[in-house]
Chain A
């Protein structure tokens, strides 16, 4: 029986190639998006689950209140791990972690490696990273031991066995004690090397509550009542002894939260070693793929229903010969199943083809092989079943329920109620398309705004060069050398680059209005900072060479003064105009005068307003040189910088980046949504138009006789085109009217994430409407012109 159904289905496909290709292509695109997005979601949901003890591992995060402001951080001080493990019996182990970069040298191989993990010894006992060689108990039990991943072992040692070989990392000779599998892609901790946490140096050897740069994990004895433990920790942190250790006075406090390991990636606001995933992002992905699938399914439903007229004889005869309603229903479901499964094959092919682009959008690293694993294939299969019913249900119901007499006598036409469904589906498809077009346009405009916004500094043509190793010792000579490289306009240095300042701090000011304690961001900088970055002064001046004289370290710092630059916002918060601020004494690291007020610039993401910022002359903190180069011959200048670098750094790899790239990286998530929405909008429009193209073809065929008669009676080309296009254009207009306010609302909502944002412009809606109507007209126009140009006698004869 089913053989017969499939046979009919295949022959129908052959007979109606246009409709078949529209359906197969559309469903394939829909299924491919669902499959890829399914893969993405499965990956996101599987984060950190490979850890056998995942349910018992928690990450400690910090909550503290200083100067009236509550802050949260994923990083903690060195004391948290050992202190809590000593105090609370439920804590079995603690592991403090940090990831840093360093040069790694073996034999004549020297590379700069970015993923060197520093972790306390129980690391491999707590987490389930698979050790291929070495013992979890002992691989990290001495400071000179290091574990390499398989890839690194291959990179540095080739076919040699690395175990017990000596390799130079962070300037120390270390012995390879173990090899582990590469860290899984769905792990929040990803590394290439692991060595002891204490190798980070003297500053981590002392247990400290503050200087919180480390991520601390605890292994608990069971997974129950984590809240209860958190409360015990809170109570402990509020005891007088601890408060005085911490230095909390009055309302200020320091407290910790315990986040289950499995919640970190998707449910935490605090990023750890990598940006967290986001449930919202997952929901958006799901919705978009379902919308695309819905549009494709609607095409199927519409085209199949439209074709019912030509299928009426067949259905009638089947019923006459005893086919039950159920049998006819099953036949049509088999047809949609056949089409869907052909589409699924194509979807698999398309997915394999586009996976690199998909990786760009999602920031994942899926391989083609991963698509052919049981999970994605099962997903695809499930979607096929769903779509077969979703798309085939209505035509199957209508056709199987058709009254046998009506079918045999007049042929079967979908009119009345069925026409309403067709219209609703078209309106739905185009509403989705228009919504996506408008939403995408707003996102793109905002991204354009972000890229071109006047940030208060000039981010273009600034090369960032990381300072490392012994470069700090030759800081000035190196800086002077850089200035002499041809093409370099000016050079400065700082702890952080200006696009994203994270250093949190406080400032104390006593003036005629009393004492102010203000939470601020702080930034140690070198000379020439304002000039190199093209910032503007509201009053006063930039740091100059003679300011160093203020920082008098002789006589036990008795006369030490720290000169400061502040931004307009800070001046305003203290209650000073820029001019009033000059020469005032404030205290951060030490007392010192304000020498200048910088016009506000955006030093964090545009999601946030500009806050108070303090800059102090702190050459010793510098981690990056920032080099402004001329915009002509950028490649040449980079080449000369590289030769200079190689000459002066003793083989340190030349890893430069541009400031504007760093800036753009802040908006990676937004960039990705922008790409995602552009693709989705494009696909939605293409699929909706394909459907319309098919329907228009069908309508024209159905109305051939009518068109013939009208032409005989004197209708001209434009009359006929209008006749055919009118209905479709009306439907699309309805879609535009429905979608516009929804898109306006959604775009507004998205824009609210940004403090600095555009307003959705009215012309965006007009453009979206015109584009959509124009595309509709083109799509339908092709058929109407063909119909209008045909010889009427011919069309009349065909009936």
Chain B
């Protein structure tokens, strides 16, 4: 199976005036296409930092990061943005929907930024809203939806561009258990359809949906369990 992500000796530091904190300490692992990987660890272990680097939102301070056969660790913001918008979808704990846009418009936004034509946009947005069962809510604003619904919109937005990779940062953190399970089911479905998923979570329950769990501590990988 093809490797989609390969990181080697990845490093990231945060510096304030007096203290230099190591967020990632020579971290290495690989993720294959179609895998569902959960990353776990206590707060401050570097999970989110890792996710941001994998999501091309942030750049590493050292080491190598090969995404889809391309070395991206030295990419500038522009190149990263370009690669990101075509290949990666994000789901956040706090949904991060844009309040001023309706459900429909929120989901449409990534397609606008990737330059998809209006007809095609309409078709794809409606398709994905149907699939997420929130078509009837398409004219509502985020504040008018429940948390579960908001996260479904966020997932719809993450997948509307058919990304190769979905990065989920505690996707069920703000949801009750039934809504949480629904979102996990959604992610599983997407994974079964071929999308690679990397999910950061505190929840052992959610982690069980994945194929492999990477546990981290102090910016380093501690263990790696394969579940299936």
Contacts and interface: CB of A to CB of B under 8 A. Distances in A.
Contact of B57 (A4, A313, A314, A404): A404
Interface string A309-323: 000011011111111
Contacts of B90: 320-321
Nearest to A316: B96
Interface stretch (A6-14, A231-239, A563-571, A587-595): A6-14
A678 B192 CA distance: 74
A1 interface: yes
Interface stretch (B74-82, B182-190, B217-225): B74-82
B26 interface: no
B100 A12 contact: yes
Interface in B42-74: 52, 55, 57-58
B96 A408 contact: yes
B109 interface: yes
B48 to A, nearest CB: 8
Given A12-B100, A314-B98, A408-B96, A322 B113 contact: yes
B83 to A, nearest CB: 9
26 contacts: A4-B105, A4-B109, A7-B101, A7-B105, A8-B98, A8-B101, A11-B100, A313-B98, A317-B96, A317-B97, A317-B109, A318-B109, A318-B113, A319-B57, A320-B55, A320-B57, A321-B90, A321-B157, A322-B110, A322-B113, A322-B114, A325-B77, A325-B78, A404-B58, A405-B57, A408-B96
Given A11-B100, A319-B81, A408-B96, 16 more contacts: A4-B109, A7-B101, A8-B98, A11-B101, A313-B99, A314-B98, A318-B109, A320-B55, A320-B96, A321-B85, A321-B113, A322-B81, A322-B85, A322-B110, A322-B113, A323-B81
Nearest to A404: B57
Interface string B77-120: 11001101110001010001111110001000110111000000
Contact of B99 (A314, A316, A320, A404): A314
B181 to A, nearest CB: 25
Contacts of B99: 313-314
B80 to A, nearest CB: 9
A723 B221 CA distance: 49
A391 B40 CA distance: 46
Give the 7 A-B residue pairs with the shortest CB-CB distance, closest first. Answer: A322-B85, A322-B113, A11-B100, A321-B110, A314-B98, A317-B96, A8-B100
A11 B78 CA distance: 29
A318 B57 CA distance: 12
Range, interface on chain A: 20 to 34
Nearest to A9: B100
Nearest to A405: B58
Contacts of A4: 105, 109, 112
A327 B105 contact: no
A406 to B, nearest CB: 10
A409 to B, nearest CB: 8
A324 interface: yes
Interface string A326-339: 01000000000000
Given A314-B99, A321-B109, A322-B114, A405 B82 contact: no
A187 B58 CA distance: 67
Given A7-B105, A322-B82, A404-B57, A1 B112 contact: yes
A320 B77 CA distance: 11
Contacts of B109: 4, 317-318, 321
Contacts of B57: 319-320, 404-405, 408
Contacts of B92: 408
A160 to B, nearest CB: 67
A15 interface: yes
Nearest to A317: B96
B100 A322 contact: no
B92 to A, nearest CB: 8
Nearest to B87: A322
Interface of A: 1, 4, 7-8, 11-12, 15, 313-314, 316-325, 327, 404-405, 408
B21 to A, nearest CB: 14
Contacts of B77: 325, 404
A323 to B, nearest CB: 5
The winner among A7, A313, A321 for most chain B CB atoms within 10 A is A321
Contact of B52 (A7, A317, A405): A405
A709 B55 CA distance: 38
B110 to A, nearest CB: 4
Contacts of B113: 318, 321-323, 327
B145 to A, nearest CB: 16
Contacts of A321: 85, 90, 109-110, 113, 157
Contacts of B98: 8, 313-314, 317-318
A578 B85 CA distance: 97
A319 B56 CA distance: 11
A4 B77 CA distance: 23
A610 B84 CA distance: 83
Nearest to A319: B81
The winner among A1, A4, A7, A322 for most chain B CB atoms within 10 A is A322
A404 B84 CA distance: 13
B81 A324 contact: yes
Interface string B109-143: 11011100000000000000000000000000000
A316 B82 CA distance: 15
A4 B106 CA distance: 11
Contacts of A320: 55, 57, 84, 90, 96
A322 B78 CA distance: 9
Contacts of A7: 101, 105
A322 B84 contact: yes
A454 B82 CA distance: 80
Contacts of B110: 321-322
A131 B82 CA distance: 69
Nearest to A4: B112
A571 B133 CA distance: 105
Contacts of A319: 57, 81
B85 A314 contact: no
B35 to A, nearest CB: 22
A8 B99 CA distance: 10
A323 B105 CA distance: 15
Nearest to B154: A317
Nearest to A11: B100
B93 to A, nearest CB: 11
Contacts of B96: 313, 316-317, 320, 408
Contacts of A12: 100
A395 B208 CA distance: 45
The winner among B92, B97, B109, B113 for most chain A CB atoms within 10 A is B113
Nearest to A310: B99
Contacts of A15: 100
B15 to A, nearest CB: 14
B112 A314 contact: no
B139 to A, nearest CB: 13
B17 to A, nearest CB: 14
Contacts of A316: 96
A321 B110 CA distance: 5
B219 to A, nearest CB: 16
A315 B84 CA distance: 16
A8 B58 CA distance: 27
A4 B116 CA distance: 14
A325 B98 CA distance: 18
The winner among A8, A314, A317, A408 for most chain B CB atoms within 10 A is A317
B192 to A, nearest CB: 24
A325 B78 CA distance: 8
Contacts of A11: 100-101
A4 B111 CA distance: 12
B47 to A, nearest CB: 13
A226 B90 CA distance: 77
A8 B92 CA distance: 22
A318 B112 CA distance: 11
A286 B21 CA distance: 56
Contacts of B86: 322
Nearest to B89: A321
